[in-house]
């Protein structure tokens, strides 16, 4: 007789007994088990029930035992977390760590979750450059099945970047590329500057900015073939090497426009282009051309116009032919724009960065540009803009998700000079006042002989238009033993600024001011006569036009800024005059962008048309060129500076690397300045006059430019080449390094 096959053991229970549970209901445990009374189950099904109960994360231990018709389930519950604490942390605050861990008080303690939390904390430290941080979750038992969860943290030291180098670069030096990437080498002030710490996530950002840098300069085949981040044997520094492949530089070849859309004339759109054959190819120039064409389509009422750039590569002469095709885009509309994450900033501040509103045709390029404008506000840590399908296939919803960041600052400063003694400065600035996108700043600077009060306010979208409304109030008072007279100068100036072209802005303004000079103690008859006039009010209107090619940013190596303005005083008040100012700045980079060349031409004129002439508080008397003291050149009566009604200055600058490690933040400069202040009314003169007419002065010098943690500082060493009798020269000065 053949043997019977073995049968799997099965169980049938009429009762289920549950023990050990204190907080968890028996019904909940039965639900996890999935076994009902009277149900026949196999041994495998009992094991599945065991795994389900244990997998709930509520119990330290579970046992399932069949006893006759009764199924016994015994459990040991995980304790409840009484409180969570962090020990050993000083670089990241408790409240910040509490926000990133999953475990929370009054929840069931889960060892796996605590380990994940420890790993999350380690990751947070790694983002700050502390890759050696360690975290140990520790459990302290309390009564009533409660525990305290303590994360013991060893923060470790920051791991610095000792060297950033590049392999495969021929067109640009290592020094030039180091100024592009975010990873910086450890410098002298490594305790203050944190960019020299190694952050792994920054490497991906560096690869992208390198690609953008080369792409904007015509290297369309550029790629980063690899990045080596090597930890030193002592495990305290990293050596980062970027392996790059530059490829060839391409230029624009033939540029044409074709239309596949009725109503869109190709010749009209071709005329709107501002790129020319022979220019270095740049995707930014292509994007700008597309934007100009699509804006022209909107003005002509051509809906759903899309411009497709069709690029033909010519390896023979390293050129790219671009054909802009005018095509019909998909008929998709914007259903709505949803904004989330803005706890302070009002929705309208974000919404006005969109040229698109609900119901408009959907244009992906415009949405991308809007996202860039939102990020450029610098109000948010992150700003993500995405589009998803709406309630119908022909509609999209634009989602804006932002994370706020601090936009205000409070500053304090102190100074000392032999002439003015101790001084102090208190300043406040808010770039997003009350979440309205408005800018508000105030400053008080005072010393023994000078007090300066300033308040500025700007509403960038006045009446919800692309018009900036500004208010400026300034009051300066000077007095003391080192000045020949005391002064009080106050000004109130509201203004409106609006675009008049792609790169042009026009500002119109009203100015009301008060000027006074008294207590004159010198020997000049002119100044004595002017001080007797007392306080005078002035009132006028003005305009200022600026043309700035940096607004479009099409050429990363060059730029031009032109400015011209006039103020007409005589709308009431005690004075009638016209003040004219002009400025032109041109900058370019040469020698593979290692050397920056800059030329600045400035001029100003005061033309008094009423019965009163200018006074010293009206005239130009500042430091217009280097190599001379402030109020150190211009018309003189005897030995006393009078200031002038006209000034002109030409400044030529060159900035270049010194061959020092980039982490020092030191670069060199050379300059040649030529300028003059001249013309003054001579009524009341009692002493000899000089430099009344135009007499140019010039100075040459070298500079040491330091990118310090306190801002860019410029140390100028000057030598006057051409000067006049009575001029006050200056061989050394320190100033804030201006950038174009």
pLDDT at 728 over 50: yes
Q: What is the CA radius of gyration of the chain?
A: 36
CATH number of the domain where residue 627 is located: 2.40.160.50
Distance CA 660, CA 663 (A): 8
Instruction: Identify the domain boundary among 154, 174, 190.
Output: 154
The listed range with the strongest mean pLDDT (82-96, 483-497, 554-568) is 483-497
Co-location of 380 and 511 in the same domain:
no
For 160, the token pair is 């610095």
Instruction: Calculate mean pLDDT across residues 22-26.
Output: 78
Instruction: Identify the domain boundary among 404, 434, 454.
Output: 404
pLDDT band of 2, cuts 50, 70, 90: very low
pLDDT at 340 over 90: yes
pLDDT band of 6, cuts 50, 70, 90: very low
Task: Specify if 360 maps to a domain.
Answer: yes
How many CB atoms neighbour CB 65 within 10 A?
Answer: 11
pLDDT band of 96, cuts 50, 70, 90: confident
For 318, the token pair is 């390293």
Co-location of 619 and 538 in the same domain:
yes
Q: Which residues contact 267 (CB under 8 A, 6 or more apart)?
A: 257
Co-location of 136 and 257 in the same domain:
no
Instruction: Calculate mean pLDDT across residues 202-231.
Output: 92
pLDDT band of 3, cuts 50, 70, 90: very low
Distance CA 710, CA 714 (A): 12
Let me know: does 285 contact 279? Beta carbons within 8 Å. yes
- Which sign, positive or negative, has the C-alpha torsion 269, 274, 276, 282? negative
Query: What does the pLDDT read at residue 596?
Result: 94
Instruction: Identify the domain boundary among 378, 404, 430.
Output: 404
- The mean-pLDDT minimum among 141-145, 561-565, 731-735 falls in 141-145
Query: What does the pLDDT read at residue 489?
Result: 96
Instruction: Calculate mean pLDDT across residues 672-686.
Output: 94
pLDDT tens-digit map of 582-637: 999 999 999 888 899 999 999 999 999 988 999 999 999 989 999 999 889 999 99
Task: Specify if 507 maps to a domain.
Answer: yes
Task: Specify if 17 maps to a domain.
Answer: yes
Tell me the pTM. Answer: 0.76
Co-location of 391 and 284 in the same domain:
no
pLDDT at 577 over 60: yes
Let me know: does 328 contact 306? Beta carbons within 8 Å. yes
pLDDT tens-digit map of 389-424: 999 999 999 999 999 999 998 888 877 666 666 888
Let me know: does 337 contact 350? Beta carbons within 8 Å. no
pLDDT band of 734, cuts 50, 70, 90: confident
Query: Dihedral of the CA atoms 622, 626, 632, 633 (nearest 10)?
Result: -90
- The mean-pLDDT minimum among 52-61, 92-101, 439-448 falls in 52-61
Query: Dihedral of the CA atoms 719, 724, 726, 730 (nearest 10)?
Result: -10
Query: What does the pLDDT read at residue 481?
Result: 65
Q: Which residues contact 459 (CB under 8 A, 6 or more apart)?
A: 436, 438, 468, 469, 470
Task: Specify if 215 maps to a domain.
Answer: yes
Let me know: does 193 contact 663? Beta carbons within 8 Å. no
pLDDT band of 4, cuts 50, 70, 90: very low
Distance CA 507, CA 474 (A): 19
Co-location of 213 and 261 in the same domain:
no
pLDDT tens-digit map of 712-726: 889 999 999 999 999
- The mean-pLDDT minimum among 151-155, 379-383, 641-645, 669-673 falls in 151-155
Distances (CA, A) of 98 to 91, 117, 188, 245, 575: 14, 10, 34, 44, 64
pLDDT at 288 over 80: yes
Question: Residue 235: which domain range?
Answer: 160-245
Q: Which residue, among 15, 7, 18, 104, has the nearest Cα to 62 in the 3D structure?
A: 18
3 CB-side CA count, 13 A = 3
Residues paired with 736 in a beta bridge: 713
Distance CA 358, CA 370 (A): 14
pLDDT at 576 over 50: yes
Co-location of 149 and 165 in the same domain:
no
Task: Specify if 579 maps to a domain.
Answer: yes
- The mean-pLDDT minimum among 191-195, 428-432, 466-470, 635-639 falls in 191-195
User: Exposed, middle or buried: residue 597 (CB in 10 Å: 0-12, 13-18, 19+)?
Assistant: middle
pLDDT tens-digit map of 431-483: 999 999 999 999 999 988 889 999 999 999 999 899 999 999 999 999 866 68
Task: Specify if 466 maps to a domain.
Answer: no
Helix and strand tally (H, E) in the chain?
11, 36
Co-location of 73 and 86 in the same domain:
no
Let me know: does 164 contact 173? Beta carbons within 8 Å. no
Which has more pLDDT, 175 or 158? Answer: 175
Going by their DSSP bridges, the two strands 15-19 and 70-77 should be labelled as parallel
Co-location of 615 and 681 in the same domain:
yes
Task: Specify if 452 maps to a domain.
Answer: no
pLDDT at 427 over 70: yes
Distance CA 61, CA 79 (A): 12
Co-location of 551 and 696 in the same domain:
yes
Task: Specify if 443 maps to a domain.
Answer: no
**473: three-class secondary structure by DSSP:** strand
Instruction: Calculate mean pLDDT across residues 246-263.
Output: 93
Three-class DSSP labels, 261-308: CCCCCHHHHHHCCCCCCCCECCHHHHHHHHHHHHHHHHHCCCCCEEEE
Residues paired with 563 in a beta bridge: 546, 583
Phi, psi (degrees; rounded to nearest 5) at 350? -75, -40
Q: What percentage of the chain carries pLDDT values higher than 90?
A: 57
Task: Provide the b/e sequence for 256-275 (b: ≥16 CB within 10 Å).
Answer: ebbbebeebebeebeeebeb
How many CB atoms neighbour CB 5 within 10 A?
Answer: 5
Structurally, the chain folds into a number of domains equal to: 6
Query: What does the pLDDT read at residue 67?
Result: 82
Let me know: does 199 contact 126? Beta carbons within 8 Å. yes
Phi, psi (degrees; rounded to nearest 5) at 122? -60, -40
User: What proportions of the chain, in percent to the nearest 5, are helix, strand and coil?
Assistant: 15, 45, 35
CATH number of the domain where residue 121 is located: 3.10.20.310
Co-location of 278 and 139 in the same domain:
no
Instruction: Calculate mean pLDDT across residues 290-299.
Output: 89
Co-location of 647 and 570 in the same domain:
yes
Distance CA 432, CA 434 (A): 6
Co-location of 573 and 645 in the same domain:
yes
Three-class DSSP labels, 191-218: CCCCCCECCHHHHHHHHHHHHHHHHCCC
Angle at 658 between CA 653 and CA 662, to 5 degrees: 110
Distance CA 341, CA 400 (A): 8
Distance CA 553, CA 472 (A): 29
């Amino acid at each position: 007789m053949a043997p019977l096959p073995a049968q799997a053991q099965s169980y049938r229970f009429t009762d289920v007994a549950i023990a050990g549970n204190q907080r968890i209901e028996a019904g909940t445990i039965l639900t996890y088990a999935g076994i009902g009374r009277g149900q026949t189950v196999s041994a495998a099904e009992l094991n599945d029930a065991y795994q389900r109960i244990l997998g709930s994360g509520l119990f330290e231990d579970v046992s399932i035992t069949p006893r006759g018709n009764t199924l016994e389930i015994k459990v040991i519950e995980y304790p409840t977390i009484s409180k969570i604490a962090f020990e050993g942390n000083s670089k990241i605050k408790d409240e910040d760590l509490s926000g990133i861990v999953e475990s929370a008080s009054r929840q069931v303690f889960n060892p796996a979750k605590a380990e994940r939390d420890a790993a999350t904390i380690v990751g947070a430290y790694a983002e700050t450059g502390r890759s050696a941080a360690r975290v140990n979750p520790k459990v302290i038992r309390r009564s009533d099945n409660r525990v305290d969860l303590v994360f013991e943290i060893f923060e470790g030291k920051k791991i610095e970047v000792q060297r950033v180098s590049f392999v495969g670069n021929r067109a640009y030096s290592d020094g030039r590329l180091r100024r592009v990437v975010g990873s910086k080498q450890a410098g002298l002030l490594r305790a203050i500057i944190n960019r020299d710490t190694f952050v792994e996530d920054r490497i991906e950002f560096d690869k992208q900015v390198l690609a953008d840098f080369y792409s904007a300069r015509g290297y369309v085949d550029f790629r980063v073939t690899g990045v080596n981040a090597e930890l030193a044997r002592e495990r305290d520094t990293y050596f980062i090497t970027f392996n790059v492949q530059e490829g060839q530089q391409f230029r624009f070849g033939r540029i044409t426009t074709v239309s596949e859309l009725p109503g869109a004339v190709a010749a009209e759109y071709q005329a709107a282009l501002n790129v020319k054959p022979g220019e270095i190819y740049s995707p930014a120039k292509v994007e700008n051309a597309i934007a100009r064409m699509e804006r022209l389509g909107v003005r002509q009422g051509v809906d759903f116009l899309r411009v497709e750039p069709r690029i033909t590569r010519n390896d023979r002469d390293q050129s790219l032919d671009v054909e802009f095709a005018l095509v019909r885009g998909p008929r998709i509309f914007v259903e709505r724009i949803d904004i989330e994450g803005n706890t302070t900033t009002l929705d309208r501040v974000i919404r006005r960065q969109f040229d698109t509103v609900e119901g408009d045709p959907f244009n992906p390029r415009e949405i991308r540009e809007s996202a860039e404008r939102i990020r450029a506000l610098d109000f948010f840590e992150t700003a993500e803009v995405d589009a998803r399908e709406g309630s119908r296939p022909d509609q999209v919803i634009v989602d804006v998700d932002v994370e706020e960041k601090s936009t205000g600052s409070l500053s304090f400063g102190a100074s000392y000079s032999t002439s003015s003694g101790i001084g102090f400065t208190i300043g406040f600035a808010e770039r997003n006042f009350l979440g309205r996108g408005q800018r508000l700043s105030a400053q008080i600077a005072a010393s023994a002989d000078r007090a300066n009060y300033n308040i500025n306010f700007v509403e960038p979208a006045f009446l919800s238009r692309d018009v900036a409304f500004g208010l400026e109030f300034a009051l300066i008072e000077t007095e003391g033993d080192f000045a020949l007279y005391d002064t009080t100068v106050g000004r109130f100036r509201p203004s409106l600024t609006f675009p008049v072209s792609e790169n042009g802005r026009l500002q119109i303004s009203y100015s009301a001011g008060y000027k006074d000079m008294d207590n004159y103690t010198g020997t000049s008859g002119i100044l004595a006569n002017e001080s007797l006039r007392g306080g005078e009010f002035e009132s006028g209107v003005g305009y200022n036009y600026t043309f700035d090619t940096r607004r479009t940013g099409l050429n990363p190596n060059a730029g031009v800024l032109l400015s011209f303005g006039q103020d007409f005083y005589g709308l009431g008040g005690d004075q009638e005059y016209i003040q004219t100012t002009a400025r032109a700045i041109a900058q370019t980079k040469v020698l593979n962008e290692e050397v920056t060349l800059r030329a600045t031409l400035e001029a100003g004129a005061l033309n008094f048309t009423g019965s009163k002439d200018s006074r010293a508080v009206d005239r130009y008397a500042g430091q217009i060129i280097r190599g001379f003291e402030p109020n150190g050149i211009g018309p003189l009566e005897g030995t006393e500076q009078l200031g002038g009604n006209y000034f002109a200055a030409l400044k030529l600058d060159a900035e270049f690397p010194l061959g020092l490690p980039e982490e020092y933040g030191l670069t060199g400069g050379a300059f040649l300045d030529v300028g003059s202040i001249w013309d003054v009314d001579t009524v009341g003169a009692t002493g000899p006059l000089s430099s009344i007419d135009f007499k140019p002065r010039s100075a040459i010098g070298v500079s040491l430019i330091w990118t310090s943690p306190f801002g860019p500082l410029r140390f100028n060493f000057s030598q006057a080449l051409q000067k006049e009798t009575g001029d006050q020269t200056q061989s050394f000065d320190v100033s804030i390094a201006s950038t174009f």
